[in-house]
Amino acid sequence: MTEDLTAEEAELAAMVREFAETVVAPQSYEADRTHTLSMDVVGQMGELGLFGLPFPEELGGQGGDYMALGLAIEALARVDQSIAITLEAGVSLGAMPIFRFGNDAQKAEYLPDLLAGRALAGFGLTEPEAGSDAGATRTTARREGAEWVIDGTKQFITNSGTPITRFVTVTAVTGIREGRKEISTIIVPNGTPGFTVEAPYDKVGWRASDTHPLTFDGVRVPAENLLGEEGRGFGNFLNILDEGRIAIAALSTGAAEGCLEAAVEYAKSRTVFGSALSTRQNAQFTLARMRVRVHTARLAWHHAARLRDAGKPFAEASAIAKIVAGDAAMDNARDATQIFGGNGFMNEFPVARHYRDSKILEIGEGTTEVQLLVIARGLGLAR
């Protein structure tokens, strides 16, 4: 669907789609099988300017917006969700906090490499007992002279252990005010003594994406590594997550479309009882419903992205888009696998990988239940 896109946006979507088909797709099965993120593919994405899409040109970006980023992520996710989430996290969770809340020195030091794809960064929010629940955060950071001393653990941190990962931005309790924890964000460079990137997870899906637990044991970083105002860390990250949910919705839409396209092609070529599977009304209805889901999901994330880029309130729209698109990805993956039959259970077929990959879309960057809370608040129903 290109009716609502500018000529420049349509050109970008077509360019990334071609890159996805010619460069990303051929390596996807092997990357998934070996749990390996291709740094060559990441490097080519950087050369195309994808990591700099929503950032100003004067900072080394492409001068685009979140609509442009979403179009690129959607095109990648159609063939490989692991590569798509690498871009999404690299922008939304890696570079965007520096751009939004960093001072001039931090921007000058980190953004050029992040926006060029020469470096990646992680977003250290989730812990074994904390994620959406900020009050449960246990990682601490205390001031000792001109340094922060950090202790704690983080889990499920994307892009935290690649060969080009430069730092992780960490949320930590830095004080107590009026009986509530004050949470700040601090930049911790990879390789800092006491900072350990633990062994990667053995995941159900997104197996070519880089994801690790992290440990901080007396980690010392300069006081100037504080990102933004002290005590404002969690609130700032919530703003980042609102934007990130648009990108996840775009990713989900790409996955849903990849499942639809593969299922249509397979149904046309598969002969069942003497005729193409696509001639069976049950298969036709299944594919038609899959098409409806893709269309609806795309409308939802486009709407949220347009609101965000126009400077209008978009938190509720991004929550709606994430739910609609995440459901579309899961439902289309299930239906596509059914269309493929036994072949849909074989990992060399993309629909099998989408089936495993898509479940996280209902969990990551805010579970479906958290999105429902956001929407309920918009209705004046929740505290």
Residues forming the active site: 365
Distance of CA 57 to the CA centre of its chain: 23
Tallying the residues shown for the chain, one arrives at 383
DSSP collapsed to 3 states, 72-140: HHHHHHCCCHHHHHHHHHHHHHHHHHHHHHCCHHHHHHHHHHHHHCCCEEEEECCECCECCCHHHCCCE
Give CA–CA dist 12/8, Å, rounded.
6
Q: Cβ(67)–Cβ(233) under 8 Å? A: no
By CB atoms closer than 10 A (0-12, 13-18, 19+), residue 239 is middle
DSSP collapsed to 3 states, the chain: CCCCCCHHHHHHHHHHHHHHHHHHHHHHHHHHHHCCCCHHHHHHHHHCCHHHCCCCHHHCCCCCCHHHHHHHHHHHHCCCHHHHHHHHHHHHHHHHHHHHHCCHHHHHHHHHHHHHCCCEEEEECCECCECCCHHHCCCEEEEECCEEEEEEEEEEEECCCCCCEEEEEEEEEEEEECCEEEEEEEEEECCCCCEEECCCCCCCCCCCCCEEEEEEEEEEEEHHHEECCCCEHHHHHHHHHHHHHHHHHHHHHHHHHHHHHHHHHHHHHCEECCEEHHHCHHHHHHHHHHHHHHHHHHHHHHHHHHHHHCCCCCHHHHHHHHHHHHHHHHHHHHHHHHHHHHHHHCCCCHHHHHHHHHHHHHCCCCCHHHHHHHHHHHCCCCC
What is the residue whose two structure tokens read 């070529």? 269
